[in-house]
Amino acid sequence: MRLGNYFKNAAITVLLILVLFISSTGIALASTGEEGINEKYGLPVVVLGEALSESQKEEVRKLFDVDDSSKVKEITVTGEDLVTYINGQRHSNMYSSAKIVRKDTGEGLVIKQVTPENITEVTDEMYANALLTAGVQDAIVYVASPVKVSGHSALVGIYKAYDEGKGTGLDKERTEVANEELNLATDLAKKEGMDKEKVSELLTEIKKEIAEQNPATKEDLIKIIDEKLKTLEINLSEKDRQLLIDLFEKMRDLNINFDSVKSQLENLSKDIQQRIDEAVGEKGFLQTIADFFKNLIESIKSLFS
């Protein structure tokens, strides 16, 4: 009887822990909400990937909470847009879709992945960093895909949504550099020992320091990059370090003024730190569960020894 009670209590404890685990790690669906129409900027713009079937397009509309087509401006992103915005390949298939709601100056840039399970490589912070480089700010940007994609092509859809499909309003050189930034970010994230949050933190902290110091020479820029790599305890190969230097040198040549988005970089930095803290907390929680089961097994073994 005593042994039966022990197992009963242990089972209840395990069940409670599993419930807490599921609750703490459950994925919350992003809501696209009903922001209303900003008469200053017009209707929210929804850009659908050309490769989507009609049923998939309808699925994306639902993901973006588009119940009334008269309340949004809908356009399609194609391979031709890859050429227009980032000098890409016009024959590429476009699945990623986006919805953008322009906001007033100072309201900041907010990224919301509606289907994070289908965007396999790009995080909210990676999108935000690239978009700030491209010149997109003060907007709520939603990203969705009904199928699994890396998420890179969503940038082009966001660019097209931002200028309502006119191909104007954004500097092509900046959008190309922003695309390079996103590619480098996802490449670095694939490296052993480099998680996505750490990559985003590195890019954000470099930009913040550039905004502070306004480096006049390449040497000044390299000093900033090396200091941030050291501070964040990131060890890159010489090849990857050079790619990072080349990227920010292109930004410097384009006179991208990060001081103008300083507050948005600060907010992005806070978001990244929160994700890092949450990841550390989750790892600690998982370790606690592992330790519990280890101790439970040892206790059971001791009963029969």
Residues 224-281 pLDDT 10s: 999 999 999 999 999 999 999 999 999 999 988 888 787 788 888 888 888 777 765 5
Structure tokens at 196: 């996505």
Three-class DSSP category at 157: helix
Phi, psi of 169 (to 5 degrees): 100, -25
Structure tokens at 74: 């809908």
Provide the β-strand partners of residue 109: 139
Strand segments, DSSP code E, in 114-257 are 139-144
Cα–Cα distance for residue pair 99/66, rounded to 1 Å: 10
**Hunting for tokens 């110091």 — which residue is that?**
213
Query: Looking at residues 143-148, what average pLDDT do you find?
Result: 95
Cα–Cα distance for residue pair 80/78, rounded to 1 Å: 5
- Candidate ranges 85-89, 129-133, 279-283; pick with highest mean pLDDT: 129-133
Confidence band, pLDDT 50/70/90 cuts, at residue 27 = very low
Residues 285-303 pLDDT 10s: 455 565 555 565 555 545 5
The percent of residues above 90 in pLDDT, for the chain, comes to: 52
Task: Report the chain's mean pLDDT, rounded to a whole number.
Answer: 82
Cα–Cα distance for residue pair 253/174, rounded to 1 Å: 10
pLDDT above 90: residue 49: yes
Of the two residues 118 and 164, the one the predictor is more confident about is 118
So what's the pLDDT on residue 279? Answer: 62
pLDDT above 80: residue 35: no
> pTM for the whole thing?
0.76
